[in-house]
Structure 1
Amino acid sequence: MDFDCYGQIKPRADKGWIDKPNKSFSKICPFSPAAQNEDELAAMHYPSAASQSDLLGRYESAYVGFVAESNFREKGSSGGLVTWVASELMRQGLVDGVAHVVPNKSCSGPLFHYAISRDIHALRRGAKSRYYPVELSGVLDIIRETPGRYAVVGIPCFIKAVRLSCAEDPVLKERIAATIGLFCGHMKSARLTESFALQMGVDLGEVEDLDYRSKNPDRPANWYRAEFTMHDGTTRSQDWWHLVDGDWGAGFFQYSACNFCDDVVAETADISLGDAWLEPYSSDGRGTSVVIVRSRPMARLIEEANARGRLALTCVDEAFVIATQAAGFRHRREGLAFRLQRRRLGLRPCKRVGPASRALGTRRKLIFIIRAGISAWSHRIFWLSRALNAPRLYTRWAWAVLSAYQGLAYSRGTIGRIADHLGLRGVG
């Protein structure tokens, strides 16, 4: 696994390797049609789950809230539950190490990478969200080589890959004792961070620390603010909405594979956690988590801590959780059905969602079309601007397409005229 010219981590091997039949690889790639899907994996791991949902998968219980003890909430992106759960597993001796994403403190290489923390202090240094490409192969090798029990933290496709790998590798199956899933919109390439730095006048070589979501209790949680801390102690920060690629929904620097994923909430993880993007929680700058518990041992751990006041969680139903991630489900389900229907060339992935488009209106189709264009072309235009040393080429293009996207997403005034021009009037 290595970075390509677009700042995406991709497999690297001899020319033509992907065309060679490889049954072992096909069984563990989370996007392979030969691999078990999320429904099949969840049925295997949580056969007696109390509830089952088309969008949430199998689960025991769901909550909204935050960590009430210590400063987990203050130091986390949302309610502090991800780091707390990992720490609690370690504190109770249920795991010896946790594989999670941490800053890379070396002078070269990627800004973030997977590592294994073996004490709570090291674990807590890896708190907060990292919108940067990473890969799992290194830590899985360490787990294979080093006896012990481990937890793995990851986005949905990573946790699915871990499950598939455990099914093929008895050593991993024995040693990976818990999985902690993160709700996911999509993965960004390394160019998002580079673009932020460029627009903020930051030299990445001088950066000591990067916080993609600097937390301020006096500001709404969904007002993202990126903050770079330099080696000399100074900081530079900017709200995402002042950056040309700061509208998450527009899809700048999104991996193409993310257009063909149908799992928002890490359906194969023992516990899944995300942000409560629903009022009044999204306006609470202290941060609030949504929690989906799938395994019985994890359910007991959460219930006991909540009963003792260590956690401040309130039970919620399926509809509440879905509402907190409404945009993600639109993109991963109805949007995926539309993308599958439009796909004419190349491999059409085998998904739990079937190709369809007629249930969508013209406006929604246009949104999905321009979002796909931004996802694909942001990589290319940024590459060209780097090659020509002309950063304004990218920023001007990005502002133009962002304006078009936001005009469609947030207003309806010109939709009919655009639909007529594209020949989409009356098709949905």
Structure 2
Amino acid sequence: MNSCKVIDEVVNKGLCIGCGLCVSACGNNNLKMALNEHGFLEPQQVSGHCEGCKGACLSVCPFNSKPNNDISTETKLANIFINESKNHNTSIGKYINTYAGFSNEHRVNSSSGGIATYTLIELLARKEIEYVISVKETITTDSHYAYSISSTRDELLAGAKTRYYPVTLAGVFEKIKELDGKFGIVGVPCFIKSVRLAQKADPILETKIRFLVGIICGGVKSTFFTEYLASKAGVDVAEYRKPEFRLKDETSTASDYSFGCLDKDNNQKTIKMRMVGDMWGTGLFKSNACDFCDDVTVELADISLGDAWIEPYRSEGLGTNVIITRSILADDIIKKGIENNALTIDNLPISSLIESQRGGFNHRHNGLGFRIKKRRSEGLAVPPKRFEKDELSFLLKLIHLMRMKVRKKSLEIWKKTKSAEQFDKRMKPYLFLLSTLTKINHYYKWYSEPGAIKASLIRKKSKIFK
């Protein structure tokens, strides 16, 4: 069997993120996307022969371990595509301005501050684009959400919320060449990188894709994540429908949101995410590829958006976006929105923006070198990365090892149990050890940090030692 290069070099080595751009790039029509045994989308060969493609599938893969040098990192790709930004920061990449705020109209019906929805509607109204490719609910029986194309405001509003569910650009991406007009695309860092790689490979795509909205991501989740939450809410995993991941409570804080879904009798069942536990810092149900991503703030998008997990914004239940503009058009949309009172916006210092995503930077920058070193010790290749120094303490190395263990075990155990009660019981020892190590690390920082930082820790001590 003549295997496909992207399957040999990426999928079989545990680095596929499911973006699906390889399917679109394949000149032999020999790839299709399908869920694997652990609930992640990945390409599969249609036939046993793959000849004459010269690795086109691999050239658009964001986790290709041997890319051409000129496109090997986000920094090098940014020098090609993000050339209107005059400012640069090692942590967040190129930028024009940084803000925090929300859309006065779209905030309530969006996962965070509604800036993504506002921006895309403005792009359509200005006729900068004719189509938007974003994730929306699907009526098919094999998936709850999928990338779809919108061309009107109403169609766009149907996809205003965040979906922590595997989706792929395969299929919809081919429509870009078929339809007459320019496109905007919404995606997480790895998906945005794959779009830029596709633009680099195909001048038609570079011309037709006008604007990219980047969503700061805590990690791509398996379908198992949604099944688990449905089970925790009291719904049979084989019968749940219409999952919603960010049901807001405007009387509480931004992080105090709920998961909800419908049962077989169309009754909505919900559960507060704080009752579920930490689903992000632990790595539960996360893709292995996410452990080898160093792009925290979607450095290749025209505008990057995330949650403002800092005060005073964290206390506002309706949610607030952190905003990084990287193109003149993106910055103009924000500034015009401020002028016409459509947006409530603060200028945000870089230091505050970085602090709002502190967990992401700690994991993807500070801890990356250790994970790379470990992977290479196992004889496995890693894509070129910009943060390869391994400077973690012994204790932090243990924490990262446990996160990797928890990620892997969560997929193995859920595959066997499909029951939140049984899953929680079997995962308890692993999560307990991770939690204990994390608390010891906080305790160590408590006594070793300089006075200024210790003062900040004092304000948080009730939460740290809870």
TM over 0.5: yes
Give the deviation of 1:14 after TM superposition. Answer: 6.1
Question: What's the counterpart of residue 200 of structure 1?
Answer: 233
1:295 counterpart = 2:324: no
Instruction: Note closer, same or farther for the CA distance 1:334–1:270 as it changes in structure 2 (3 Å cut).
Output: same
Give the deviation of 1:320 after TM superposition. Answer: 1.3
Q: Does structure 1 retain, via aligned residues, the 8 Å contact 2:84–2:327?
A: no
Give the deviation of 1:86 after TM superposition. Answer: 1.0
Q: Does structure 2 retain, via aligned residues, the 8 Å contact 1:336–1:353?
A: no
Give the deviation of 1:79 after TM superposition. Answer: 0.7
1:47 counterpart = 2:83: yes
Give the deviation of 1:242 after TM superposition. Answer: 2.3
1:140 counterpart = 2:169: no
Give the deviation of 1:10 after TM superposition. Answer: 0.9
Give the deviation of 1:395 after TM superposition. Answer: 2.4
Given candidates 128, 144, 151, the residue that maps to 1:94 is 128
Give the deviation of 1:412 after TM superposition. Answer: 5.0
Letter aligned with residue 62 of structure 1: T
Q: Does structure 2 retain, via aligned residues, the 8 Å contact 1:46–1:295?
A: yes
1:277-316, aligned counterparts within 5 Å? 277-316=309-348
Instruction: Note closer, same or farther for the CA distance 1:238–1:318 as it changes in structure 2 (3 Å cut).
Output: same
1:313-328, aligned counterparts within 5 Å? 313-328=345-360
Instruction: Note closer, same or farther for the CA distance 1:98–1:413 as it changes in structure 2 (3 Å cut).
Output: closer
Letter aligned with residue 303 of structure 2: I
1:405 counterpart = 2:437: no
Q: Kindly, what percent of the aligned residue pairs are identical?
A: 32
Q: In 1, distance between residues paired with 2:315 and 2:387? A: 36
CA deviation vs aligned residue, 1:224-252 (integer Å, no higher than 9, x gap): 311113475522111223226x4311001
Q: In 1, distance between residues paired with 2:90 and 2:384? A: 13
Instruction: Note closer, same or farther for the CA distance 1:17–1:273 as it changes in structure 2 (3 Å cut).
Output: farther
Q: Does structure 1 retain, via aligned residues, the 8 Å contact 2:369–2:387?
A: yes
SS at match of 1:332: helix
Q: Does structure 2 retain, via aligned residues, the 8 Å contact 1:262–1:351?
A: no
Unaligned stretches of 5+ residues in structure 1: 416-428
Q: Does structure 1 retain, via aligned residues, the 8 Å contact 2:240–2:263?
A: yes
Letter aligned with residue 220 of structure 1: T
Question: What's the counterpart of residue 151 of structure 1?
Answer: 184
SS at match of 2:261: strand
1:379 counterpart = 2:415: no
Given candidates 253, 261, 272, the residue that maps to 2:285 is 253
Letter aligned with residue 83 of structure 1: T
SS at match of 1:202: coil
Q: Does structure 2 retain, via aligned residues, the 8 Å contact 1:225–1:237?
A: yes
What do you get for the CA RMSD once the two structures are aligned?
2.3
Question: What's the counterpart of residue 367 of structure 2?
Answer: 335
Q: Does structure 2 retain, via aligned residues, the 8 Å contact 1:340–1:354?
A: no
CA deviation vs aligned residue, 1:53-92 (integer Å, no higher than 9, x gap): 1111101111001112x2x000111111111111111122
1:38 counterpart = 2:74: yes
Instruction: Note closer, same or farther for the CA distance 1:406–1:20 as it changes in structure 2 (3 Å cut).
Output: farther
Give the deviation of 1:171 after TM superposition. Answer: 2.4
How many positions carry a matched residue from both structures?
A: 407
Unaligned stretches of 5+ residues in structure 2: 1-32, 445-466
TM-score normalised to the size of structure 2?
Answer: 0.82
CA deviation vs aligned residue, 1:78-115 (integer Å, no higher than 9, x gap): 11111111111112211111000111123x11111100
Q: Does structure 1 retain, via aligned residues, the 8 Å contact 2:129–2:210?
A: yes
Q: In 2, distance between residues paired with 1:351 and 1:169? A: 22
Q: Does structure 1 retain, via aligned residues, the 8 Å contact 2:396–2:441?
A: no
Q: In 1, distance between residues paired with 2:49 and 2:326? A: 37
Question: What's the counterpart of residue 96 of structure 2?
Answer: 60
CA deviation vs aligned residue, 1:8-59 (integer Å, no higher than 9, x gap): 1111016988999943223210111315121111111223422101111101
TM-score normalised to the size of structure 1?
Answer: 0.89
Q: In 2, distance between residues paired with 1:186 and 1:86? A: 24
Q: Does structure 1 retain, via aligned residues, the 8 Å contact 2:233–2:260?
A: no
Q: Does structure 2 retain, via aligned residues, the 8 Å contact 1:155–1:183?
A: yes
Q: In 2, distance between residues paired with 1:324 and 1:210? A: 27
Q: In 2, distance between residues paired with 1:366 and 1:17? A: 44
Give the deviation of 1:184 after TM superposition. Answer: 0.9
SS at match of 1:253: coil
Instruction: Note closer, same or farther for the CA distance 1:204–1:97 as it changes in structure 2 (3 Å cut).
Output: farther
Question: What's the counterpart of residue 217 of structure 2?
Answer: 184
1:276 counterpart = 2:308: yes
Instruction: Note closer, same or farther for the CA distance 1:120–1:51 as it changes in structure 2 (3 Å cut).
Output: same
1:69-108, aligned counterparts within 5 Å? 70=105, 72-106=106-140, 108=141
1:219-238, aligned counterparts within 5 Å? 219-230=252-263, 232-238=265-271
1:7 counterpart = 2:39: yes
Q: In 1, distance between residues paired with 2:107 and 2:157? A: 12
Letter aligned with residue 374 of structure 1: V
1:352 counterpart = 2:385: yes
SS at match of 1:138: coil
Q: In 2, distance between residues paired with 1:39 and 1:17? A: 36
Instruction: Note closer, same or farther for the CA distance 1:326–1:16 as it changes in structure 2 (3 Å cut).
Output: farther
Letter aligned with residue 81 of structure 1: I
Q: In 1, distance between residues paired with 2:246 and 2:50? A: 37
Q: Does structure 1 retain, via aligned residues, the 8 Å contact 2:84–2:326?
A: no
Letter aligned with residue 378 of structure 2: L
Q: Does structure 2 retain, via aligned residues, the 8 Å contact 1:263–1:332?
A: yes
Q: In 2, distance between residues paired with 1:84 and 1:207? A: 31
Q: In 1, distance between residues paired with 2:165 and 2:76? A: 29
Question: What's the counterpart of residue 425 of structure 1?
Answer: none
Give the deviation of 1:360 after TM superposition. Answer: 1.7
Q: In 2, distance between residues paired with 1:88 and 1:48? A: 20
SS at match of 1:93: coil
Q: In 2, distance between residues paired with 1:148 and 1:317? A: 37
Q: In 1, distance between residues paired with 2:81 and 2:442? A: 49
Question: What's the counterpart of residue 397 of structure 2?
Answer: 365
Give the deviation of 1:164 after TM superposition. Answer: 0.6
Instruction: Tell me whether 199-208 or 166-175 shows the greater mean CA deviation.
Output: 199-208
